[in-house]
Amino acid sequence: MRVLFTTWAWRSHLYALAPLAWAFRAASHDVLVASQPGLVDEIAQTGLPAAGVGRDVDAAGMVRGYLLPTTPAVTGGPAGTEKSPVPRAMRMLLAHTESMLDGLIELAKRWRPDIVVYETTTLAGPIAAAAIGVPAVRHLYGPDLLLRARRLLPEVLAPLAGQHGVSEFEPLGGVTVDPTPDSLQLPGDHPRIPMRYVPFNGPETLPDRLPATGGRPRICVTWGHTIAGVAPARFLLPSVAEALSELDVDVLVAVSAAQVPLLGPLPPKVRVVVDSPLNQLLPGCDLVVAHGGAGTTLTALHHGVPLLLVPQLPDHTGHANRVSACGAGEVLTAQQASPSRLREEAERCLGDSPRRAAAIRIQQEMRDSPPPAALVPELVAGARAIN
């Protein structure tokens, strides 16, 4: 069986797909991962076959619009106003759909997959599946934040779908593969197949063994990749690490090589680790302080580690709110995240706290979910029944 995976060019979304794609390949199915040209090299680094479709979109520039005020030159009105009735996040998804759709359908007609598995915000996926008459399987990367747009999606996507003779399709796919534990997930009635979350951060090299903490708690501070790339002034990691270093803890800062110039001078007791997969660093950590990205959040809970989150993007806020709702951590706005408040909330999460207990409970919930390999026969059988 041939399985076409697709995502727009954002590597954290690709990483969410990789475990299931590898499960299909390990079961001897043909797998191809399609994205915009800017992600092709990243796909190849996962070891999966890659195909470039469409054209690249300035996703970073669009994300920057969430963080920085919109200028009158762009909107035609006062700063921060918008004329379009379509939310900014939806406009970004539409831009990606338009940029990928022609190429993805052409590739699908040529390669003839039996299933199209698409990352939830890659809405060219279900349209391409409908265009060639095969099942569309949606793959989440965290809490199902797109559910709130369910009624809007068919109307917004209809003109693009109509250009390819597609009049009926389900933007949420026929079924959803969900690596998010029930405790963290938003309620919904869409057909869902739970799957164990498998941390994947790209090609991994085991980091050097970290020194002992001398009995002190260890806090890992990480800020993902997005904020530093689109708005360096909003990269709060250095000030957060400095604030936490005043506690009797071991502070571990996890950054990419591109983020090192943004760190500036840090207290001597702060240890910086560069380009090490988060999954390899968290065993032995007692708290993760971060921005609220889905991968960071799920990886922390995979290790039973509570979180202190300071979200700045809408999806980060959605993830953080779910962490708070299930009791596995605390959430501060950027305005609330003063040094004293950061230290106060971090201390609330350390030790045998209720947040730690909730994180361990969710960790067990994640372990009880079936691994990606267990989903392959079910998805194959479903595709064969339809085809």
* Residues 345-356, mean pLDDT to the nearest whole number: 95
Cβ neighbours around 36 below 10 Å, total: 24
Contacts of 189 (CB under 8 A, 6+ apart): none
Contacts of 387 (CB under 8 A, 6+ apart): 114, 134, 135
Taking only the tens place, the pLDDT of each residue in 124-149 is 999 999 999 999 999 999 999 999 88
Taking only the tens place, the pLDDT of each residue in 25-83 is 999 999 999 999 999 999 999 999 999 999 999 988 888 876 665 433 333 333 343 44
Is a pLDDT exceeding 70 seen at residue 177?
A: yes
pLDDT given for residue 68 in this prediction: 62
Backbone region of residue 207 per phi and psi (left: phi > 0; alpha: psi in -120 to 50; beta: other values): beta
Nearest to 221 by CA among 186, 253, 175: 253
Taking only the tens place, the pLDDT of each residue in 230-265 is 888 889 999 999 999 999 999 999 999 999 999 999
Nearest to 32 by CA among 138, 107, 119, 134: 107
Distance of CA 331 to the CA centre of its chain: 18
pLDDT given for residue 74 in this prediction: 34
Tokens of 161: 């779908």
Question: With bands split at pLDDT 50, 70 and 90, how would you rate the model's confidence at 86?
Answer: low
Chain-wide mean pLDDT for the chain?
91
Question: With bands split at pLDDT 50, 70 and 90, how would you rate the model's confidence at 89?
Answer: confident
